Amino acid sequence: MEDFYLNALVKGDSKTIKKIYTTNFFQVKRFVLQNKGKSEDAEDIFQKAILQIAIRHKKEKIKISTNFDAYLFTVCKNLWRRELNNYKKRVTNSEVVEQKDESTDNALAIVEQKRQELFIEKLGEISDNCKQILTLFFAKTTYAEIVEQTEYNSESVVRQRVFKCKKQLTNLIQKDKRYNSLKAI
């Protein structure tokens, strides 16, 4: 089904694109509004995400490991977070009009998405124990809470386990042939 949506985006199938919009836009809009955005921002982000996915699928024939809706939402979240980060870096001066290079911005967003896909893929390759520990760690769960949720006896043991699992994940990512092309930017 994911290929159906991807191919519809590339072909410009307006009926399917409208279905994608009605199914997914509300969730994206809610996310953007909850994270310092406006309705117009949500519309822009959604359009950029659709365009980015279509262009990327046309060039690379991407494969989506989750469902299309979840993938689209993740792309939108990443684009909005990038937009917020760019906004923080801007210096406001009402007399200066800032020119934004949209193609560079889109390229960086695609690279960021590829990095995330590589990370998720390699996270799936490590042991279930490491996956559980790192998922809790990346969700900013405290070491004390990780001790409660796992079979480990102390926070120091959890810290050591997190370190070893992160090292294992890092090694897997660095050994992947895509790593060098994604780290340079």
For the chain, 185 residues long, the average pLDDT of each consecutive 10-residue run is 79 87 92 92 90 84 83 89 75 51 67 79 87 86 89 89 90 84 66
Residues 156/89, Cβ–Cβ less than 8 Å: no
pLDDT at 101: 57
pLDDT at 170: 87
pLDDT at 34: 93
Compute the Cα dihedral for 2, 106, 103, 93 and give only its sign.
positive
pLDDT at 95: 53
User: At residue 70, what is the residue type?
Assistant: A
Question: How would you class 159 by CB atoms within 10 Å of its CB: exposed for 0-12, middle for 13-18, buried for 19 or more?
Answer: middle
CA angle 70, 72, 77 (to 5 degrees): 90
Q: Interhelix angle for 14-34 vs 2-11, to 10°?
A: 100
Residues 5/68, Cβ–Cβ less than 8 Å: yes
Q: Where are the domains positioned within the chain?
A: 1-92+100-116, 124-185
